[in-house]
Structure 1
Amino acid sequence: MEFISVLWNYILPFLVLFTLLVFVHEMGHYSVARRNGVRVEIFSIGFGPELFGRDDRWGTRWKFCAIPLGGYVKMFGDADAASRPGEAVQRLTPEQRKVSFYHKSVGQRAAIVFAGPAVNYLFAVLILALLFMTAGQRHTPAVVGAVIPGGAAESAGLRTGDTIVQFAGRNIDRFEEVEQVALLHPGQALRIVVRRDNAERAFRLTPEPRTVRDKHGNTEVYGVLGAVRMVAPVVGRVLENSAAAEAGLMNGDRIVAIDGRPVSTFQEVRTVVMAGPEKRLRLRILRDGRSVGLTVVPKIYSYRDGAGVARTIGRIGIGVAPPPMKRHGPLAAFWAAVGETWSLTVISATAIGQMFTGKRELRDIGGPLRIAEMSGDMAQIGIYAFVWFMAAISLSLCLINLLPVPMLDGGHLLYYGIEAIRGKPLGEKAQEFGFRIGMALVLGLMVVVTWNDLLRLFGAHGS
């Protein structure tokens, strides 16, 4: 039964996500190759032995292979996996050269190679646009609902009611964007601009590093803002066997007062509850338009903060209601998706850059097992989270493939750029040397991510 659960909850969502994204990527190469008159011999999803396939009327073999961890398009005249000419290419007839990849202009070859990552990017935009048209876009105003005592926001000088207009050089429209920026910059001093009393003020804010462990035992270090969005005190969920469940709180209840004192934000509720473990609290709530009185006793919860200091707080076991969603029409959804994709691009590019500069550890890089875990987790949360994750992975595939590393699309584009400037390709020895370096880098990365996955799988990443 456990195997069936893993298969259904993790392996199947991963295969759906990865197969679709690989198909989209390779379809980009295929479509532009065909448009430029190149004969495509093989369109493969996966590597290794063929499981099944068929030949179309243009002579392309479409097939699924046994190892579903990638795919490729083999074009006529693309001599080998490194896209370098071989002796066979030099002996092609004039008719064959018309449909040969190698004999196309440098601009055509660059367009064919660039099309794969470009379609991954466009796919991310399109599925987000569809999401924003149907389910809507999370849209919480960038207003500080509360400042956590002792947190990064308080240390920087932020106050409740501040409207954040810029953070780390990025214009801000939604609170979700603020959280995204903080997330990727733990321990880094960032410029933040807020609007307060009709005037803009600038501060330096350093997101607090916070180590988070997920249910699979994986640990990640994120930046914490130390401030929360303006959230109404509406109960979004009630945990089983919690103090709230025992008191009779229900989803949709709006807490309007605690011990006779009015509350207007969820953070006010949280502050009172955290400060009163095992203290009887009298709640006044609105339920279906009726005023109801309840008594709840927060349970004791002990933990260690980021500095390792033991702390004890009260908990009643409720969560906030989902953030407000804003549905868009087709055109507005498209432009919202473009903006969201650009935000994800900045986040992904920042993360990749941090890997190269040492600001993010190599152990943070995940491989297929990590992606499978996250695919399953997102699928279990719901279709919204899964589609969002798919867009993020599609975008990551685009950016990684565009890195100027031989063996990747970006490496080919680098060579084509040099060829366009020189008027002729690099010498065969120079290309071979570059491809060997590229292969070493790609294989090294594969070893690192596989090792990280195995460490996560067997819980060797420590406490």
Structure 2
Amino acid sequence: MIESPGLLMTIIAFLLVLGPLVFLHELGHYAAGRWFGVKVDAFSVGFGREIAGFTDRHGTRWKFGWLPLGGYVRFAGDMNPASQPDAEWLQLPAHERARTFQAKPVWQRAIIVAAGPAVNLLLAVLILGGFAAAYGVDRTPATVGGVVQGSAADRAGLQPGDRIAALDGRTIETFSDLSFYTAMHPGERVTVEYLRGGAAQKTDAVIGSVVQRDRFGNEAKIGRFGIERGPPVYAPLPLWQAPAEGTRMVGAILRGTVDGLWQIITGRRSMDEMGGPLRIAKTSGEQLSLGWPALVTFVAFVSINLGFINLLPVPMLDGGHLFFYAIEAVKRGPVSPQTMEWAFRGGLALLLALMIFVTVNDLGAFGVWRGLAGLIG
């Protein structure tokens, strides 16, 4: 039976996930900018017409837009999307111009831009590290407890008691590492390094592939190796070690994200798996229906992806700004305004095309296109 959290719960969960993440992302930009003495004209959660807001004693307008799909911080002097000096900027009085974003050295501008994604990643470290400290850490060794007959592990000749050490050169420390790697690489040939009786051995295997369906009707193709785990081992984690464990977990998720993106680019995964705001909203409602721990964990995953995406070197994203600042630092001079303008136009077109694509994907995942085809037929 397929369960549905309902439209109201989905909307509430989506706002609970996206609202705080956008606010904290922009707060990172804001805090770094204020630290370096940049005047902030506006801080917005959401786009479009303002539906509520106030102006603080520093002259910053804090507001909410009617479209809750993002946000922005507008620094003094930001007169174009590329944050480039122009004639209007040059006409500002010297004391006002000194407080604008463009007047700051390139290293300060880079820190201000990088602070947004950094806060997203830091939030995920705190959430995942906090859960690890509260519930303990899964230290179950990647030892073969049993082998499913006819599985990839069986065909590779693995036996109970073997200790998996690496897959395709990637170190495997725990059974969770093994499960995560194989789930992310369905149908792929890998080199398996393992220990048998203390002796290092190596073999090749093709990870199996299955389509898994959850209680909400979502389907996903995942890899299965056919190895049964041994007795679980959970170790308590001192609170002071939580940040390091959270960092390790965020690193593992980022590596999985990069792997998944590369699989889509190389055609090993379907582009239908790419989702946008609609799918995030749907999943938010589903996770909230499972309880607050599930929703907070999902917030960590979305925060990691928000930070990662914003660091991609695409104009209009934080990573695009950082890319041009790196060029500026190397050549000891800013990129020409014409180059910046065309780059940001291209970046905007790319992002709009991507938004349309993932929205079409999301609607397809919800069965909209199948329903329309049925009506037309």
Higher strand share goes to which structure? 1
2:324 alignment partner in structure 1: 415
Instruction: Specify the alignment match of 2:268 in structure 1.
Output: 359
Q: Give structure 1 stretches of 5+ with no counterpart.
A: 232-322
Q: Normalising to structure 2: TM-score of the pair?
A: 0.92
CA contact (8 A) 1:217 1:456 kept: no
What do residues 15-50 of structure 1 show as CA deviations (whole Å, max 9, x unaligned)? 111111111111111111111110111111111122
Q: Aligned in 2, Cα 1:86/1:212: closer, same or farther, shift over 3 Å? A: farther
Residue identity in the other structure for 1:456: A
> 1:161 maps to what in 2?
161
Cα distance in structure 2, aligned partners of 1:190 and 1:9: 42
| Residue number in structure 2 paired with 1:84 | 84
1:424 to 312, 327, 333: 333
**1:437 corresponds to which of 322, 346, 358:** 346
Question: Which AA in structure 2 matches 1:367?
Answer: G
Q: Does the 8 Å contact 1:362/1:448 carry over to 2?
A: no
The one-letter code of the counterpart of 1:411 is: G
Matched, 1:112 2:21: no
Cα offset, 1:9, TM superposition: 3.1
1:204 deviates by: 1.7
Aligned partner of 1:223 in structure 2 is 223
Tell me if the contact between 2:144 and 2:228 (Cα under 8 Å) persists in the aligned partners: yes
- TM-score by length of structure 1 reads 0.75
Instruction: Give distance in 2, aligned partners of 1:81 and 1:117.
Output: 18
More deviation, 92-101/74-83: 74-83
In the aligned structure 1, how far is the partner of 2:100 from the partner of 2:29? 14
- The alpha-carbon deviation at position 160 of structure 1 amounts to 1.7
Measured after TM superposition, the shift of residue 14 of structure 1 is 1.7
Partner in structure 2 of residue 236 of structure 1:
none
Q: Deviations over 1:326-346 (max 9, x none)?
A: 331112222111111111111
Larger Rg: 1
CA contact (8 A) 2:5 2:286 kept: no
The alpha carbon displacement at 1:148 in A equals 1.2
Quickly say closer, same or farther: Cα 1:10–1:144, change in 2 above 3 A.
farther
CA distance in 2, matches of 1:218, 1:379: 16
CA contact 1:367–1:449 (8 Å) conserved in 2: yes
Structure 1 residues 331 and 15, CA gap change in structure 2 (3 angstroms): same
Quote the offset at 1:80 in angstroms.
Answer: 2.3
**1:204-231 per-position Cα deviation (integer Å, ceiling 9, x unaligned):** 2221122234455443222112212125
2: CA distance, partners of 1:385 / 1:159: 35
Equivalent position SS for 1:102? helix
Match of 1:308 in 2: none
**Structure (1 or 2) with the greater helix fraction:** 2
The equivalent residue for 1:176 is: 176
Question: What amino acid is the match of 1:115?
Answer: A
Instruction: Decide whether aligned partners of structure 1 residues 365 and 461 sit closer, same or farther in structure 2, where only a CA change above 3 A counts.
Output: farther
The count of corresponding residues between Structure 1 and Structure 2 is 368
Q: Distance in 1 between matches of 2:109 and 2:283?
A: 35
Separation in 2, partners of 1:337, 1:443:
33
SS, match of residue 29 in structure 1: helix
Contact 2:5 2:285 in 1 (8 A): no
Q: 1:68 to 1:138 in 2, by over 3 A?
A: farther
Aligned equivalents of 2:346 and 2:256: distance in 1? 28
Once residues 102 and 34 of structure 1 are traced to their aligned partners in structure 2, the CA distance between those partners, rounded to angstroms, is 14
How far apart are the structure 2 equivalents of 1:5 and 1:120?
A: 27
420-429 or 383-392, larger mean C-alpha shift: 383-392
Distance 2:170 2:360 in 1: 36
| C-alpha distance in 2 between matches for 1:77 and 1:412 | 16
Report the equivalent of 1:395: 304
In 2, the alpha carbon distance for the partners of 1:326 and 1:31 equals 37
Alignment-derived partner of residue 315 in structure 2? 406
Higher relative CO (Cα under 8 Å, sequence separation at least 6) belongs to: 2
Task: Determine the structure 2 residue equivalent to 1:384.
Answer: 293
Query: Could you tell me how far 1:396 is from its partner in structure 2?
Result: 0.8
Residue pair 1:163, 1:195 contacting (<8 A) in 2 also: yes
Structure-2 residue corresponding to 1:277: none
Cα distance change on mapping 1:357 and 1:91 into 2, 3 Å = farther
How many percent identity over aligned positions?
41
**Structure 2 unaligned runs (5+)?**
372-377
Q: Which residue of 1 aligns with 2:257?
A: 348
SS at 2:6 equivalent: helix
1:211 aligned residue: 211
Supply the AA of the counterpart residue of 2:112: I
Separation (CA, whole Å) in 2 of partners of 1:459 and 1:195: 50
Question: Is the contact made by 1:147 and 1:159 (CA closer than 8 Å) also made in structure 2?
Answer: yes
Structure 2: distance between partners of 1:182 and 1:77 = 50
Report the Cα distance in structure 2 between the residues aligned to 1:14 and 1:230, rounded to whole angstroms.
38
Match of 1:271 in 2: none
| 1:370 lines up with 2:279 in the alignment | yes
Return the offset for 1:459.
5.5
Match of 1:448 in 2: 357
Say whether 1:93 aligns with 2:93: yes
Structure 1's 216 and 458: CA in aligned 2 closer, same or farther, altered over 3 A? farther
Q: Which moved more, 1:212-221 or 1:127-136?
A: 212-221
Distance 1:452 1:26 in 2: 28
Is the partner of 2:103 in helix, strand or coil?
coil
8 Å Cα contact 1:132-1:326 kept in structure 2: no
1:235-250 paired onto structure 2 within 5 Å: none
Superposed CA RMSD: 2.0
| Counterparts in 2 of 1:348 and 1:172: CA distance versus 1, 3 Å | same
Q: Per the alignment, in what secondary structure is the counterpart of residue 37 of structure 2? A: coil
Report the equivalent of 2:375. none
